[in-house]
């Protein structure tokens, strides 16, 4: 399953290579380090930044974005200044910041955990289970609502893994402003599809649950046989159920 998802992901990236604009987090954004370590330059003299003694910040430590500036020598390069525990920690390139940190909000942290190797494995297992459930329900000719809902859940989980593994830097805007509204202006196409699938799943599973309640039946208290709709007399043993 994971091989199939990685293959789909590779084909998607190969067919949609495009230049992306790095999103700049606003000042005061709280971040958490997701890499094993993060190297910060101790000075913001960009011309001599490589010769400065770097400072190491380790995994799960928290940082706050103070400001961002363009490199005087290369205007396409953006540096950001970070603080730790009310003290200036140093400077880092924006692309390195986006790669090795994540916003510290609860939804952003949950997304990051879901996209860890273990999270992707669990999601892949759930996707495979939902696909098997869909096939089983179709073969058994059970509720069409549950069949469609299970298939929709499979598609949503696959798109979720592909979307957040695509390397699209615009997803960082979603980390900063998580929302369930699929038509926000900053959303890339795959994320829009993912949220539309999410709402489709909500509707389909609610429809499946309501159809199950509608199709529920009463059993005879004497023999356990199924009573006809609206009837109080058991067709199997003739007992009257009041």
Give pLDDT tens digits for 36-92: 888 888 765 544 545 557 788 888 899 999 888 887 777 678 888 899 877 878 888
* Domain-embedded: residue 221: no
Do residue 117 and residue 77 come from a single domain? no
Q: pTM here?
A: 0.63
| Burial classification of residue 71, based on how many CB atoms lie within 10 Å of its CB (0-12 exposed, 13-18 middle, 19 or more buried) | middle
**Count of domains for the chain:** 2
Do residue 96 and residue 192 come from a single domain? no
> Which residues constitute the domain of residue 80?
25-103
* Domain-embedded: residue 13: no
* Domain-embedded: residue 222: no
Do residue 122 and residue 194 come from a single domain? yes
If we measure between CA atoms, which residue out of 154, 106, 150 comes closest to residue 5? 154
Do residue 79 and residue 112 come from a single domain? no
Specify the pLDDT at position 227: 66
């Amino acid at each position: 399953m994971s091989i199939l998802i990685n293959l789909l992901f590779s084909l998607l990236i190969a067919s949609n290579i495009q230049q992306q604009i790095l999103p700049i987090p606003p000042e005061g954004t709280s971040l958490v380090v997701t890499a094993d370590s993060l190297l910060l330059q101790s000075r913001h003299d960009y011309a001599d930044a490589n010769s400065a003694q770097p400072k190491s910040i380790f995994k799960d430590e928290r940082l706050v974005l103070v400001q961002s500036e363009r490199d005087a020598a290369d205007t396409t390069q953006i540096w950001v200044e970070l603080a730790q525990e009310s003290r200036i920690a140093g400077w880092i390139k924006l692309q390195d910041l986006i790669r090795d940190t994540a916003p510290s909000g609860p939804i952003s942290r949950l997304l990051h955990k879901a996209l860890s190797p273990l999270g992707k494995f669990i999601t892949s297992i759930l996707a495979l289970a939902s696909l098997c459930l869909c096939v089983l329900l179709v073969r058994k000719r059970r509720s069409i609502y549950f069949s469609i809902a299970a298939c929709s859940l499979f598609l949503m989980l696959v798109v979720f893994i592909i979307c957040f593994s695509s390397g699209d830097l615009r997803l960082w805007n979603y980390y900063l402003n998580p929302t369930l509204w699929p038509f926000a202006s900053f959303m890339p196409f795959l994320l829009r599809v993912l949220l539309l699938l999410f709402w489709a799943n909500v509707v389909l599973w609610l429809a499946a649950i309501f159809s199950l309640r509608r199709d529920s039946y009463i059993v005879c208290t004497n023999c356990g046989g199924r009573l006809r709709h609206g009837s109080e007399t058991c067709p199997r043993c003739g007992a009257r159920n009041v």
